[in-house]
Amino acid sequence: MKKQLFKYLLATFVFIAAAVTSHAQTRIYVKVRPTAVVVARPVAPHPNYVWIDEEWTVQNGAYVHVPGYWASPRAGHVWVPGHWTTEAKGDYWVAGHWKKV
């Protein structure tokens, strides 16, 4: 029983690690960047909140717009906004992230 549980947990861990790694490496190149959707920024729920600007995420091999939102700041971190980067293959989106200061 313990061996089966260990094998199950190990298989689950490997599957999750592979999913996270493959997601982190997803890079879809485009020749024409998708058109940004204009979103009205709502009032902050708290004065210290940080606005996380709209992002792009890959779904089914294409970029999909993700609207912006207010987030509680992370202690000792700053928000680095997402941005487009150009390479010889085309443009791709670099997602925003929290950076330790």
44-77 per-position pLDDT tens digit:
999 999 999 999 999 998 999 999 999 999 999 9
Q: Residue 98 phi/psi, 5° resolution?
A: -85, 135
In this prediction, residues 12-19 reach a mean pLDDT of: 40
pLDDT of residue 70: 96
Q: Specify the pLDDT at position 7.
A: 47
The confidence score (pLDDT) of residue 25 equals 55
The arithmetic mean of pLDDT across residues 33-45, rounded, is 90
Q: Which domain does 42 fall in, by range?
A: 2-100
Q: 76's torsion region: left (phi>0), alpha (psi -120 to 50) or beta?
A: left
pLDDT at 12: 41
Q: pTM higher than 0.85, yes or no?
A: no
Provide the number of structural domains found in the chain.
1
Average pLDDT across the chain, whole number: 81
